[in-house]
Amino acid sequence: MIENGFIYLAVLILIASTIVYTEKKTQAKIFEYLPAIVIIYFVVMLFSTFGLWQKSESVTTTYKAVKSNLLPAMIFLMLLSADMREIFKLGKKMLLTFFLASSSIALGFIGMFTLLHTYFGEESWKPFAALSGSWMGGTANMVAIQGALSLPDSAMGYTLLIDSIDYAIWVMILLALVPFSKKFNLWSNADTSAIDEVGKRLALKEEAKDPVSFISISLLISAAVIVSLASQTTAAFLPTTSFLTTTTWIVILATLAGTLFAMTPLAKLSGASVLANMMLYLIVALIASRANFAELTEAPLYIFAGFVIIFIHVIIMVICAKLFKLDLFSLGVASLANIGGVASAPILASAYSKALIPIGVLMAMMGYIVGTFGGLMVGKILEIIAV
C-alpha cells in the first residue's frame, strides 16, 4: 500500500502514460468509442477500489497541491487555441448551429432533472452540472466545474460513466447517419457550399503552424504557472456566495485569461494543447484516485438520465434544422463539438470530408470557451429545481 505522496503521483503518471502510449501504438478500436482519458479514470478508480494507495497525510497533501495548482494552468493552456476572431469567421449559420446545440443540451439537462430529480440522492445536481460542462465543452470543462462546485471525487464516477457509455453510443449513431446526409439536407433545404470553403481555408492555416520547440514549451509553461498563481491570488480577494466560491472564481479568471491571450502572439506558440492534455490526464487520474466502484450504486439510473438528455437535444435540433435550413454535417459536428469535444468532432467531420476536419476542431474550441460558464449556469438552475 502506497503512503508516500511522490510515489503515489509517480504511479498515477505511469498509469496515464501507459494508457496513452497503448492508444497511440495499437490504434485499437476500443479507443474510438472510449477515449484514453475515460479508460484512465476507470483504471485508476479500480486501483483505488483495491486500495493500492492510502489517504495518508503525504498522499492527501500531494493530491491537493497538484490538483489546485494544475487546474487553472490547464484551463488557460486549453483555451489558447480558441481564438475568437477565427471562430467568428465560421459564419452565421455554423455559429447558430453550435449555439443551438449548446442550448438544446442545456435544456436537455433541465428537462431531464425536472422529470427525474426526485429519484436521485442529495446534491445530485452537482454531478449533472459537471456533466453539462463536459457536454457543452469537454472533459477539461467538467473538471473545472467539479472544482468550482466542490463536487466530491467519489461522485465523479457517475459523471464519467454517463460521459463514456451514452457518449459512445451517440458517436456511433452520428457516424451511422453520415450516408443519409444528402437525404436529410434535401428535407431541410440546406446549402453546404459555404462549409466547403471554410474547411479549405482552415486546413491551409493549420498547415502553416510552426512545430513544437523547446522555447515555445518553456514560454507556455511559464505563462500557465503565472496565470495559475495570479488566478488563485486574485480569487482570494473577491466576494463569495454559497454558489460563487473562491474556487469558482479561480476557474472563471483562468477561463477569461485563456480567452484573452488566445488573441495574442502567445497563442501562436505550438504545444499548448499538448501541455493542456498532459495536465488534464493527470488531473483526471488524481480525481479517480479518490473514487471507488462500490460507491456507484445508482449507475443504471444515471445512464438512463443521460439518454433522456440526448433525446431532448435531438428533438430540438431536428426541429431547428427544418426551421433554419441546417445541414446534417453542421448539426452532427456541433453536437459532438459539445458532447464529445475536440477528441470526436474532427472524427465525425472527417467522415464527411478530410477538408472539413479543421471545422470540427474549431467548433470544439468554442465548446471549451462556453462549457465552463454554460455548465455553471445549468448547475445553478438544477440547484433551484432540486430545492
Got the DSSP string for 59-116? HHHHHHHHHHHHHHHHHHHHHTT--HHHHHTT-HHHHHHHHHHHHHHHHHHHHHHHHH
- Cβ atoms 203, 367 nearer than 8 A: no
Instruction: Return the bridge partners of 2, or none.
Output: 53
- pLDDT for res 259: 83
Q: How far, in Å, CA of 262 to CA of 264, rounded?
A: 6
User: Are 165 and 303 spatial neighbours (Cβ–Cβ below 8 Å)?
Assistant: yes
In angstroms, how far is CA 322 from the centroid of its own chain?
A: 29
Side chain identity at 266, as an amino acid letter?
L
Amino acid at 331: L
Residue-level pLDDT at 95: 84
Helices 57-79 + 246-261 axis angle, to 10:
30
Q: In this predicted structure, what is the pLDDT of residue 55?
A: 82
Query: Is residue 37 in some structural domain?
Result: no
Report the alpha-carbon distance of residue 13 to residue 150 in Å, rounded: 24
User: Does the residue 73 lie in any domain?
Assistant: no
Residue 360, domain member (yes or no): yes
pLDDT of residue 208: 54
Has residue 368 been placed in a domain? yes
What is the pLDDT at residue 178? 84
Residue from 83, 147, 184 nearest 129 by CA:
147
Query: Are 257 and 76 a contacting pair, CB within 8 Å?
Result: yes
Q: How many domains does the chain have?
A: 1
- CA nearest 320: which of 69, 101, 26? 101
Q: How far apart are CA 67 and CA 85, in angstroms?
A: 31
pLDDT < 70: residue spans in the chain: 32-34, 87, 192-210, 242-243, 293-298, 342-344, 353-358
How far is it between the farthest Cα atoms of the chain?
Answer: 63
pLDDT at residue number 232: 93
- The pLDDT score that the predictor gives to residue 134 is 86
Cα distances from 185 to residues 97, 179, 257, in angstroms, run 14, 11, 39
pTM here is: 0.74
CA distance 160 to 11: 21
The answer to whether residue 68 sits within a structural domain is: no
Q: Give 202's contacts (C-beta < 8 A, 6+ positions apart).
A: 86, 358, 359, 361, 362
In a domain, 44, yes or no: no
Residue 71: predicted pLDDT? 85
Contact 285, 16 (CB under 8 A): yes
Q: Which of 224, 221, 200 is nearest to 212 (CA)?
A: 221
Tell me if 99 is assigned to some domain: yes
Are 180 and 321 in contact, with CB atoms under 8 Å apart? no
- Domain range for residue 322? 84-152+162-270+296-386
One DSSP character per residue, 166-232 reads HHHHHHHHHHHTGGGHHHHHHHHT---HHHHHHHHHHHHHHHTPPPP-HHHHHHHHHHHHHHHHHHH
For residue 219, the model assigns a pLDDT of: 94
Q: Specify if 175 maps to a domain.
A: yes
